[in-house]
Structure 1
Amino acid sequence: MDRHREAVAAELARHGWDEPLWFETTAEDPGVGMVKQALAEGADLVFSSGGDGTVRACAEGLLDTGVPLAVLPVGTGNLLVRNLSLPGTLAEAVAAGVEGDTRAIDAGVIDGRPFVVMAGIGLDAAMAESTSEGAKRRIGWLAYAGSIVKHLRDKPFDVTLRLDGRVTLRRRAMMVLVGNVGRLQGGLSLLPDARPDDGELDVLVLAPRRPSDWLRVVGHVLTRSRRYDRRVERYTAARVEVDVVPPVLHECDGDTIGHGSHMSIETRPGALLLRVPRGSES
């Protein structure tokens, strides 16, 4: 931590910035309270130094404040960084924060809890819960691959899906994923048309009927096929309501948030200001 602080402060100094304020997250507060404290002390730029959970918490504290977020990626997934092609090195990330452009992106809200990447139920939540921190430290995002294979034989659940209060679908599914962006670890694109600034959420429903259907699901995803397939359905909406039987595990930006039988998600267009490299079109 001391070496990291020294490196960040040195990069900021190269750009003419003073020593920053530092706020360490805790297990009880992954960042929301720290952001509020920083704002109370007059911060006009907040760097999130951590993984997706830290980014999500900092984003929650900054929504609709007019203060931008810059990301120093030091986690395993770093999905917002990967999806938006943000800098992956410390020097480039600091430069983007202090000299880059400010871009307004959407945020999603699941049952009152903001997210910037994805939220979902079923297979992805089970994968997140069963992937150990030790495995992620040892082999990075590949740890998720072994976890998801382990859950392919989980029992499906009954889903009722309402999109903007109009479209109703009933499926027996393995996963419902709602994304602000569309790529997972390893560059796997589950929602290839998702954009973080279009004012809508993208929805994926995976509903294989038998174990052999997983081959078709994998092929559909890997080829980014847009052909209709009841096993892999994609939709867009500003508000998504999901009811499931029996209750299943929920996740939000890679963190599990308990079991439930209902999920209500909506978008908050342009609610988060994000620093990106100057002139970036990503």
Structure 2
Amino acid sequence: MIGRTSFPPHLGRIGRRRPRTHPDPVHTRRPGPLSAVIVNPAKVADLATLRRTITGTLAAAGWPAPLWLETTVDDPGAGQATAAVRDGAEIVLVCGGDGTVMACVTALAGTGVAMAVLPAGTGNLLAANLGLTGDLATALKVVLQGGRRHIDVGTAGDRSFAVMAGMGFDAHMLDATNATAKKHIGWLAYIGGALRHLRGRQMRLEITLDDRPPFHRRARSVIVGNVGRLQGGMRLLHDARPDDGLLDIAILSPSTLWHWAALGWGLLLRRRSVPRMEILTAARIDIRASRTQPRQLDGDLIAPGRRLLITVRPDALLLCVPQPASAPDLARGIGTAAAGAEGLREPVHS
């Protein structure tokens, strides 16, 4: 007699399946990455609306609620960015002025954590070079689309910068710019600060680039750039690329009002060769002045000094940028959607 065939208990009868107890991973939506928002409350008119907009936009895309960290007078962003990395954030959204962005660049460089710039305040140089305006919705869309690029950063002492550093006239101009005027008319306020220092004295400088012999110059300003665009769309450094492992140096040496006019006119016309301006490149720049000079990093004043030593950290910062199909040209800092991201490496998609 043929006996009854026994089936393992977990199979039961032929053709019968046990009900699923777990969702099919193929059809499960992967939650978005953990993010953190670092905001300078002094730069935001309506903090509650900003928070509601950011958290609502991220939630609609399936992202968890972000960490929310506000800067203080004593800590403009570095401590908050460090805390965000420690707590597991994969993307840090920075909403503040140049000082806030620079502090976060310093903390995030080399960590592999992506940084997104949410434009706020006036004169945010990194946002301008990314092609981002004051449109929060557009900046958040860039974050969600997943375009990522590694760029170089410059370092000066224990601080890092992503756009430009300088000694001399440019820092004088920033220091002389009225904060109230800047708030109301934006980058045009810098014109007033510039006019106040056009007749200043030239600096006597010794400059050493990499391991080359030092040379001497009399100049009004030395600007070291990772990218080339100034406020108002003016381009100072035409060949500056943020991912080439080099920094571009502009030595400005006007000594009369006529020199300033010729230099300014050349910049307005976007000429590659401008009177009274010398362009060089290096990975290490050592600038020594005969007397104490004002200095700035990414549009934020640092303590005056007689020396500005800058080195480059290649590919140190991961940035959220527009996808190539719709991105303004990051390398050129200004452009159209069709320009894509010419001259940069292919983006890393998350």
> One fold, TM greater than 0.5?
yes
Change over 3 Å in CA distance of 1:23–1:105 after alignment to 2:
same
The number of residues matched between the two structures is 281
Deviations 1:215-267 (A, max 9, x none): 221123223333475x2101111110101111111111111112211110011
- Select the structure with the greater relative contact order (CA < 8 A; seq sep ≥ 6): 1
User: Counterpart of 1:132?
Assistant: 178
Q: How far apart are 1:117 and its partner, in Å? A: 1.0
Distance in 1 (alpha carbons) for counterparts of 2:298 and 2:117: 15
Q: Is the 8 A contact 2:286 2:307 kept in 1?
A: yes
Distance in 1 (alpha carbons) for counterparts of 2:144 and 2:307: 41
User: Counterpart of 1:241?
Assistant: 286
Distance in 1 (alpha carbons) for counterparts of 2:127 and 2:308: 26
1:209 and 2:255 are equivalent in the alignment? yes
**Considering only CA atoms, is the larger Rg found in Structure 1 or Structure 2?**
2
Distance in 2 (alpha carbons) for counterparts of 1:199 and 1:263: 19
Distance in 2 (alpha carbons) for counterparts of 1:47 and 1:28: 20
Q: Is the 8 A contact 2:176 2:196 kept in 1?
A: no
Change over 3 Å in CA distance of 1:138–1:227 after alignment to 2:
closer
User: Counterpart of 1:110?
Assistant: 156
Distance in 1 (alpha carbons) for counterparts of 2:304 and 2:71: 25
Q: Is the 8 A contact 2:238 2:272 kept in 1?
A: no
Distance in 1 (alpha carbons) for counterparts of 2:195 and 2:213: 32
Change over 3 Å in CA distance of 1:167–1:89 after alignment to 2:
farther
1:268 and 2:313 are equivalent in the alignment? yes
Q: Aligned ranges for residues 43-62 of structure 1 at < 5 Å?
A: 43-62=89-108
Q: TM-score, normalised by structure 2?
A: 0.77
The one of 215, 221, 225 equivalent to 1:175 is 221
The one of 109, 116, 130 equivalent to 1:70 is 116
User: Counterpart of 1:32?
Assistant: 78
Deviations 1:6-29 (A, max 9, x none): 111111122112221100001111
Distance in 2 (alpha carbons) for counterparts of 1:42 and 1:25: 19
- Give unpaired runs (5+ residues) of structure 2: 1-46, 328-339, 342-350
User: Counterpart of 2:303?
Assistant: 258
User: Counterpart of 1:22?
Assistant: 68
Q: Is the 8 A contact 1:129 1:255 kept in 2?
A: no
User: Which AA in structure 2 matches 1:212?
Assistant: W
Distance in 2 (alpha carbons) for counterparts of 1:258 and 1:87: 30
Change over 3 Å in CA distance of 1:151–1:47 after alignment to 2:
same
Change over 3 Å in CA distance of 1:18–1:228 after alignment to 2:
closer
Change over 3 Å in CA distance of 1:206–1:11 after alignment to 2:
same
Partner-residue secondary structure (3-state), 2:67: coil
Root-mean-square deviation (Å) = 1.5
User: Counterpart of 2:344?
Assistant: none
Deviates more, 1:266-275 or 1:216-225: 216-225
Q: Is the 8 A contact 1:161 1:169 kept in 2?
A: yes
User: Which AA in structure 1 matches 2:203?
Assistant: F
Distance in 2 (alpha carbons) for counterparts of 1:214 and 1:172: 15
Deviates more, 1:74-83 or 1:212-221: 212-221
Report % sequence identity.
Answer: 46
User: Counterpart of 2:242?
Assistant: 196
Q: Is the 8 A contact 2:119 2:132 kept in 1?
A: no
1:6 and 2:30 are equivalent in the alignment? no
Q: How far apart are 1:135 and its partner, in Å? A: 1.4
